[in-house]
Amino acid sequence: MTPSSLGGRLLAEPIREFGRAGIFLVTAFARMRFGRLQLGEILRQVYFVGARSLVIIVICGFFVGLVLTLQTHDTLTRFGAGDAVSTVLALSLFRELAPVLTAILFAGRAGTSITAEIGLMKATEQLDALDLMAIDPMERIVQPRLLAGVLAVPALVMVFNVTALLGGVFFSVYLMGSDPIVFWSKMQASVELGKDFMGGLLKSAVFGFLVSWLAVYFGWSAKPTSEGVALATTQTVITSAIAVLLMDFVLTAFML
């Protein structure tokens, strides 16, 4: 398989890219000096990627909860297990849907804006300017965004969970007239804090890190032209989606 053959190109190029992304990440961490952690900058980034993503998360969360409950309610009542709706909703949300969907929505909304921002900074020589002022752009631009993602995504996932449950409650209790006490107590009995809930939280942190890493990397390595930045944002979304789903599989297998 030579680099110029089709197989070489299809396989070798992604592997090289992956390697570059890995080296980028290691460099970013190697240069992290804990005494100089730019807390203000991290919080700013948490605002931009986290707080600004709330609207879409809340809306999508509510509708996901609503639809999921709608779907399962029909099937479960047919088997006389209508009470299990809340359990099914909670388990699918906490373990899978909330972390994965939130991560992908985050990639689309915040990930692309990070990529575009860094790509544009590269194109307008702002990254060079930092270098020339003997300020490490990794420290000032990359690290805060990486850490902000790890903090923001779990918070977003929790909000997604809550709004989705509210969607479920809305459907079950207000539209279908189920007993809210049964709804909640069945859920409480069947959802384990450690295995189901914390597992989902762990996934959220991992996904947040993953998406932020990819978003920052593609922005950093974008060609400093308008096409380059556009391509980079596309790469962020696609690669994030694939990476999140892959990682989801790995983590789920590991946790079960």
Partner 1 sequence: MTSSHQIEFTAGLFLLLGIAALVFLALHATDGGALKDGGYRVVAEFSNVGGLKARANVSLGGVRVGSVESIDLDPETFSARVVMVIGDRFRTLPEDTSASILTSGILGDQYIGLEPGGAPDMLEDGDKILITQSALVLEQLISRFLFNSGGEQKK
Partner 2 sequence: MPDTLAASDSSAAAIRLDNVTLARGDRAVLTGFSLAIPAGKVTAVMGPSGCGKTTVLKLITGQLRPDKGQVWVGDIEVNRLRGADLNALRRDIGVLLQNGALFTDLTCFDNVALPLREHTKLPEPLIRRLVLLKLQTVGLRGAAALYPRELSGGMNRRVAMARAMALDPAVMLYDEPFAGLDPISLGASVRLIREINGALGITSVVITHDVAEVQKFADHCCIIAEGRVVASGTPDQLLDSDQEVVRQFMRGLPDGPVPFHFPARPLADELLAERA
Locus of tokens 């974008």: 222
Stretch that binds partner 2, among 66-74, 92-100, 125-133, 230-238 (CB under 8 A): 125-133
Residue among 65 and 219 whose Cβ is closer to partner 2:
219
**Residue 30 binds to partner 2 (criterion: CB under 8 A):** no
> Which tokens is 19 given?
């390697």
Can you tell me the distance from the alpha carbon of 171 to that of 61, in angstroms, rounded to the nearest whole number? 14
Q: Give least dist CB 48 to partner 2, A.
A: 9
Residue 133 contact among partner 2, partner 1, none, beta carbon within 5 to 8 Å by kind: partner 2
At its nearest, how many Å lie between partner 1 and the CB of residue 143? 16
Pull the structure tokens for residue 169: 């409650």
- Of 28 and 151, the one with the shorter C-beta distance to partner 1 is 151
Of the candidate residues 124, 185, 188, 234, the single one contacting partner 2 (CB under 8 A)? 124
> Under the criterion CB under 8 A, does residue 125 sit at the interface with partner 2?
yes
Nearer to partner 2, 52 or 162 (CB): 52
**Residues 236, 204: Cα–Cα separation, whole Å:** 18
Site string for partner 2, 177-206 (x = CB under 8 A): ------------------------------
Nearer to partner 2, 43 or 241 (CB): 43
Residue 162: name its binding partner from partner 2, partner 1, none (Cβ under 5 to 8 Å by kind): partner 1
| 242, interface contact from partner 2, partner 1, none, CB < 5-8 Å by kind | none
Contacts with partner 2, 135-164, as mask; x by CB under 8 A = x-----------------------------
Kindly provide the b/e burial profile for residues 104-139, where b requires at least 16 CB atoms within 10 angstroms of the residue's own CB: bbbbbbbbbbbbbbbbebbbeeebeebeeeeebbbb
The residues of the shown chain that bind partner 1, judged by CB under 8 A, are 40, 43-44, 46-47, 50-51, 54, 79-81, 90, 94, 151-152, 154-156, 158-159, 161-162, 165, 184, 187-194, 196-197, 201
Residues that bind partner 2 (CB under 8 A): 121, 124-126, 128-129, 131-135
